[in-house]
Amino acid sequence: MYRHRPDEPPRTAALSRRATLVTGIAVAIFAVVFLRLWYLQVLSGDDFREQANDNRVREVRVQAPRGNIVDRDGKVLVANKTQLALYVQPRDLPKPGTDERSSLMQGLEPITGDSAAEMEAEISRVREESPTSPVILAQGLGAGKIFFLRENRDRFLGVTVERVFTRDYRQGDIAAHLFGNVGEVTAEQLDLPRYGGLEQGDSVGQSGIEYEYDRFLRGQPGADRFQVDALGRPTGQLGSERAAAGDNIRLTIDSDLQATADGALGSFGLPGAAVAMDVETGEVLAMSSAPSFDPEIFTKPITEGQYKSLISRQNDAPLANRATQGLYPTGSIFKVVTALGALKSGDITPDEIVVDDGVLKLDTVVFKNAQDAVFGPINMSDALKVSSDIYFYELGKDLPYAKGGGVIQDTAMDLGLGEQTGIDLPAEGDGLVPTPAWRNRLYNDDLTDRPWTDCDNVNLAVGQGDLQADPLQMAVAYGALANGGRVVTPHLAQSAETVTGEVLEEIRPADKRTVEVPEDARATILGGLERAAMEEKGTSYPVFGNFPIPVAGKTGTAERGFYNSGLPVPDQAWYAALAPADDPEIVVVVTIERGGFGAGSAAPVAARILEKYFNLPITPAIAVQQETPVE
């Protein structure tokens, strides 16, 4: 039996409890460690294995080349060229605030042309928007800088040079206002559904055709996977996913006609715009705006000074597309709208005579013809031929109007004025067809000095006063007159196509509406416009009198109020043409700021465009001296 030894202390209950407690704690600690190891190795093993792979594998996103933009005949207008860009991967750089980081950033200063502080700010900006994305610090690196980086690779850990695509404008500044530009997708854009699947650093269309058809042009990015060592240096390529090039966009533009329009418009050295459009389909054949600019400026980061010069009023704002954003009073090319409204309403007949004695007095206001001309007894066709202001002033005085509008206003709005045309370009202007309600509302809000009066209707009848329209809107209105009442939706894109020419989508926007254009009214107006262009004493006879193709054309000269410090603005010249006059297929509208009489500047530009369209010899676009008193 067990005997208690005399030298052994008695075993107490307290000692036993202590031993039990220590044992329990040890078992608990072991259990926790065991469970943690089980969690790490069994439950989370795959996750940690992926993280470990991420530490030794780098994935570099490969940008896709954008699709080409070609003209209606397939001539390439915008393609791609490659540049080398300097990227940094923030997670592979030395830690911020260390001497190594400071030395690296200072070493990059002569390569990027930016200070270390500027580069750090750009890295911080991108990391806030997308923590895992690489950061582009410079583009268009020359061979010398590339060799320097490769020879000093150990000094620039986390720095790589990759190929990027930029746009190549094959025709120089031809149609510069149409294409738009490409830029890095913004944080705000990444939240939009149309940019789903993109990442910070991807490029998207930011304006113009590039923006409107970005879904086709963009393509699908690829990726290259590299194995790296502990310092982030590549040790081998693991694989790659090829980028898929974007699809092409075929425009309705005829690049030769576009070049002619650009040249003719630019020959005057004044701001202006020109539009040539198919009256049946709404296809825009040429769209010019002056002054123009070199679209290459947007292939590199643009400076604040460069951007300001593009929008500066002192430089006539070259970036503005005056064809869709230049809102002006139209002068006498608006008379066809008044004529159509008056004939449809029955307030006048085509043969009804109005005596033009050169003056119309309305209360205390005296209205006169341009250059104080007097035309005597005339009907509507005569009035359009010589552009009698008095004839149309009388219509403006007599045509009824109410609070919300009137015959002239309703006809103008039916023809598409006062609203966006729906062309496939962003930032189009709305324009304005003034109504009594509009002006009276301004007056009640103390935003103008008077309410609507009869004089406003008289001014509107000849395209003056508060009316605002752009050349494209007027082209649509004239096109509706030519095609019998269809208000087309103008468009610049014809189709989206694969690189092999397979048509993915034809672009044929529906008409906005159809308006009533009685055939007798149409014949009267077109006949008067043809006489204005082709008969002696017609307003544009000096330009089109011997033109081989019959033209129906209307001159316009508008006053634009005041410009800067109360100085009057010189006249705004307009010309609108339909050809051939007997069965129109093309409409051309030209406007030139500070251009004087429409027949002297705008009409010669329209003539050059029509000469090119009909394959006629091109004559110089010089100002025509007026032989008859026209507006």
Query: Can you give the pLDDT at residue 562?
Result: 47
pLDDT of residue 58: 66
C-alpha to C-alpha distance for 209 and 69, rounded to whole angstroms: 9
Q: Are residues 372 and 244 in the same domain?
A: no
Q: Are 72 and 155 part of one and the same domain?
A: yes
Q: What pLDDT digit, counting tens, does each position of 63-108 carry?
A: 889 999 999 999 999 999 988 888 888 888 888 889 889 989 998 9
Indicate if 465 and 357 belong to the same structural domain.
yes
CATH number at residue 170: 3.90.1310.10
Query: Residue 436 belongs to what domain range?
Result: 321-613
What's the confidence (pLDDT) of residue 404? Answer: 79
Residues written for the chain: 631
Do 487 and 361 sit in the same domain of this protein? yes
| DSSP letter (8 states) at residue 173 | T
Instruction: Say whether both 368 and 472 belong to one domain.
Output: yes
628 found inside a domain: no
The reported pLDDT for the residue numbered 553 is: 98
Residue 615 has a pLDDT of 97
Give the end of a domain, one of 251, 285, 312.
251
Structural domain contains residue 6: no
Residues 469 and 590 in one domain: yes
| Residue at which a domain ends, from 202, 225, 251 | 251
The string of DSSP letters for 554-617 reads EEEEE---EETTTEEPPPEEEEEEEESTTS--EEEEEEETT--STTTTHHHHHHHHHHHHTTPP
My answer on whether 483 and 602 are in the same domain is yes
What does the block give as tokens for 59? 């994935």
- Are residues 444 and 350 both part of a single domain? yes
Domain harbouring 493, CATH code: 3.40.710.10
Same domain, 601 and 498: yes
Peptide bond into 548 cis (omega under 30): no
Q: How many CB atoms lie within 10 A of CB 141?
A: 17
Predicted local distance difference test score (pLDDT) of residue 515: 98
Is there a contact between 592 and 533 (Cβ–Cβ < 8 Å)? no
State residue 157 phi and psi, 5-degree precision: -65, 135
Is 188 a member of any domain?
A: yes
Same domain membership, residue 191 and residue 340? no
Residues 6 or more apart from 348 whose CB is under 8 A from it?
342, 354, 380, 395
Do residues 228 and 331 both lie within one domain?
A: no
What confidence score (pLDDT) does residue 631 get?
58
Low-confidence ranges of the chain (pLDDT < 70): 1-15, 19, 35-60, 129-130, 132, 224, 226, 228-239, 561-570, 621-631
Work out how many domains the chain is built from and give that number. Answer: 2
Q: Is the peptide bond before 291 cis (omega within 30 degrees of 0)?
A: yes
Cβ burial, residue 500 (10 Å; 0-12/13-18/19+): exposed
Amino acid type, 52: A
Determine, yes or no, domain membership for 45: no
Question: What proportions of the chain, in percent to the nearest 5, are helix, strand and coil?
Answer: 40, 20, 40
Regarding whether 208 and 102 lie in a shared domain, the answer is yes
Q: For position 568, what pLDDT does the model report? A: 53
pLDDT at 11: 56
CA of 446: how far to CAs of 242, 243, 441, 443, 450, in Å? 63, 59, 9, 5, 9
Q: Looking at the domain assignment, is residue 216 inside a domain? A: yes
Q: Has residue 41 been placed in a domain?
A: no
The predicted pLDDT at position 14 comes to 66
Is the entire prediction scored with pTM above 0.75? yes
Report yes or no on 21 lying in a domain: no
Domain end, chosen from 251, 272, 298, is at 251
Instruction: Please check whether residue 408 lies inside any domain of the structure.
Output: yes
d(CA 107, CA 104): 5
Whether the Cβ atoms of residue 331 and residue 560 lie closer than 8 Å to each other: no
Angle at 404 between CA 400 and CA 405, to 5 degrees: 40
